[in-house]
């Protein structure tokens, strides 16, 4: 059975978790393929909210095997804490498998993240300060420690000694910070964390391929989103991995021919956290209304998200970048409060030129003007809708506009935070 990829089409926080959760019901394996605990998914089950950072959403179903793929960066303490939190709330985490090839987030990664941001001053990226970028940098520089190193004390210590020499020089001589104690780190990772993580470590590539060969359902769950992709996002205001669907192959160990469906998650409006260009950003009362009704504060960091109107230029380009087969629209109910809505259908460049797709040159993107189509709102509360016919006409038209403008069908529409609050909208 071919695999399905779920990918965010904007700057993250599209509500991927709730659709991963919905689709996980039919899945045998749910695999995270990139990112780390910079991600935050909130899933509401029977009125109870579960905030997940590292563990794939599939964990909430007892028949699903949650997998942390090789493309993820893992802070073992955070992972174990999350498992303990889930266990305390009656969720069995014993099926979780973590790739031995995934890289570890180490204490110096947090320090370097913090100090790099501080040194960038007003050019800072607004990272989550979880050590994500520095961990991926070390991976690319081939000085990273991997999850499997926790199982070999000699290798772990050797690698740590080498890398810490450089990190401590950087921390003390450049950043004027105290050097870190290698022995303390080794003791903590090897003696405290490794024995608890060891039963979860496994050959995830083998596991995924066996599942695919046996005709089982595999879902690859992206964290962050298309425009936070290190290659295709609004660089440098991006994360350090590849959330795009192509990253799902690399981060899980399968080839593109194994994927048959790519679901793009699109919030009915747009938000972003941290710095960077945002053509349809709004301020003032409209912003407050979107943030308040949409509860647009980071799951992890509590930061207020920057809100804006739906941007179809971004979305069209995201469809291309990810080979999106169908879309899931989230949080349509948040727009119910507006009499009219704005949807960006194109950009006008600094010379008056029209862009239907993202301009490749970042400095153009910083200076574009969004060209809006104004569409009627629906006023009614959508929360109870479960069928297409129950959506007000204007809400249906809004969703149809998205499908028409992007050329891909919309399969689901979220109308509330609960597990059952969605409408199937397939043609
Ligand atoms: P980092 O991933 O912590 O390095 O942060 C880089 C950029 O990605 C910052 O602008 C963050 O706000 C953003 N970012 C990282 N993870 C998420 C996420 O899960 N949702 C939304 N934005 C994110």
- The atom number, within ligand 1, closest to the CA of 301 reads 12
Helix (H) or strand (E) holding 30: strand 29-32
Buried b (16+ CB within 10 A) or exposed e, 49-59: ebebbbbbbbb
Could you give the angle at the alpha carbon of 293 between the alpha carbons of 292 and 296, nearest 5°?
60
Nearest Cα residue to atom 11 of ligand 1: 127
Q: Indicate the range of 123-127, 200-204, 272-276, 299-303 predicted with least confidence.
A: 299-303
13 is catalytic: yes
Ligand 1 in reach of 38 Cβ (< 6 A): yes
Q: What is the pLDDT of residue 16?
A: 87
Ligand 1 in reach of 237 Cβ (< 6 A): yes
- The closest of 274, 318, 269, 276 to 295, measured between CA atoms, is 269
pLDDT mean across residues, the chain: 94
Ligand 1 in reach of 228 Cβ (< 6 A): yes
Out of 13, 138, 149, 229, which one is annotated catalytic?
13
Percent of the chain topping pLDDT 90 = 85
Q: What is the pLDDT of residue 27?
A: 95
Q: What is the pLDDT of residues 130-157, one digit of tens each?
A: 999 999 999 999 999 999 999 999 999 9
Q: What is the pLDDT of residue 379?
A: 84
Q: What is the pLDDT of residues 225-268, one digit of tens each?
A: 999 999 999 999 999 999 999 999 999 999 999 999 999 999 99
- The atom number, within ligand 1, closest to the CA of 39 reads 19
Percent of the chain topping pLDDT 70 = 100
Residue 319 pLDDT greater than 70, yes or no: yes
Ligand 1 in reach of 224 Cβ (< 6 A): yes
Ligand 1 in reach of 13 Cβ (< 6 A): yes
Q: What is the pLDDT of residue 426?
A: 62
Nearest Cα residue to atom 20 of ligand 1: 12
| DSSP-assigned letters across all residues of 349-377 | -TTS-EESS--SSHHHHTT-EEEEEEEE-
Check: CB of residue 266 under 8 Å from CB of residue 315. Answer: yes
CA of 351 to the centre of ligand 1 (A): 32
CA of 37 to the centre of ligand 1 (A): 10
Distance (Å, whole) CA 408 – CA 222 = 20
Helix (H) or strand (E) holding 413: strand 410-414
Residue 427 pLDDT greater than 70, yes or no: no
CA of 7 to the centre of ligand 1 (A): 15
CA of 326 to the centre of ligand 1 (A): 25
Check: CB of residue 101 under 8 Å from CB of residue 148. Answer: yes
CA of 229 to the centre of ligand 1 (A): 10
Ligand 1 in reach of 128 Cβ (< 6 A): yes
CA of 273 to the centre of ligand 1 (A): 7
41 is catalytic: yes
Q: What is the pLDDT of residues 325-337, one digit of tens each?
A: 999 999 999 999 8
Rg of the chain on CA atoms, in Å: 22
Out of 21, 28, 37, 41, which one is annotated catalytic?
41
Residue 7 pLDDT greater than 90, yes or no: yes
Give the dihedral sign, CA 81/229/243/401: positive
């Amino acid at each position: 059975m071919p695999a399905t990829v779920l990918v965010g089409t904007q700057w993250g926080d599209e509500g991927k978790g709730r659709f991963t959760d919905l689709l996980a019901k039919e899945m045998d394996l749910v695999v995270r393929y990139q990112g780390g605990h910079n991600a935050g998914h909130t899933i509401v089950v029977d009125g109870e909210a579960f905030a997940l950072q590292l563990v794939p959403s599939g964990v909430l179903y007892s028949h699903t095997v949650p997998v942390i793929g090789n493309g993820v960066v893992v802070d073992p303490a955070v992972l174990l804490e999350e498992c303990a939190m889930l266990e305390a709330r009656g969720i069995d985490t014993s099926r979780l498998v973590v790739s031995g090839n995934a890289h570890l987030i180490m204490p110096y990664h947090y320090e370097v993240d913090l100090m790099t941001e501080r040194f960038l001053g007003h050019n800072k990226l607004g990272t989550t300060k979880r050590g994500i970028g520095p961990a991926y940098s070390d991976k690319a520089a081939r000085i990273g420690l991997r999850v499997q190193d926790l199982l070999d004390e000699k290798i772990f210590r050797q690698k740590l000694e080498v890398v810490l020499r450089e990190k401590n020089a950087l921390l003390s001589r450049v950043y004027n910070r105290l050097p870190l104690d290698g022995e303390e780190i080794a003791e903590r990772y090897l003696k405290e964390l490794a024995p608890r993580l060891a039963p979860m470590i496994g050959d995830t590539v083998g596991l995924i391929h066996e599942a695919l060969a046996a005709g089982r359902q595999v879902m690859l769950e992206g964290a962050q989103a298309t425009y936070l992709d290190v290659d295709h996002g609004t660089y440098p205001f991006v994360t350090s991995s590849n959330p795009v669907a192509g990253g799902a192959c690399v981060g899980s160990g399968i080839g593109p021919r194994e994927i048959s469906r790519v679901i793009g998650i699109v919030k009915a409006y747009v938000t972003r956290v941290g710095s960077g260009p945002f053509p349809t950003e709004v301020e003032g009362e409209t912003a407050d209304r979107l943030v308040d009704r949409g509860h647009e504060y980071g799951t992890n960091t509590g930061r207020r998200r920057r809100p804006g109107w739906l941007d179809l230029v971004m979305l069209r380009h995201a469809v291309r970048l990810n080979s999106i087969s169908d879309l899931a629209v989230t949080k349509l109910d948040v727009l119910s409060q507006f009499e009219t809505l704005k949807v960006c259908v194109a950009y006008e460049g600094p010379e008056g030129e029209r862009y239907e797709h993202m301009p490749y040159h970042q400095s153009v993107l910083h200076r574009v003007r969004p060209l809006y189509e104004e569409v009627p709102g629906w006023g009614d509360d959508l929360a109870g809708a479960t069928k297409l016919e129950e959506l007000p006409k204007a809400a249906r038209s809004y969703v149809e506009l998205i499908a028409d403008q992007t050329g891909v069908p919309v399969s689901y529409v979220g109308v509330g935070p609960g597990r059952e609050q969605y409408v199937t909208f397939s043609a």
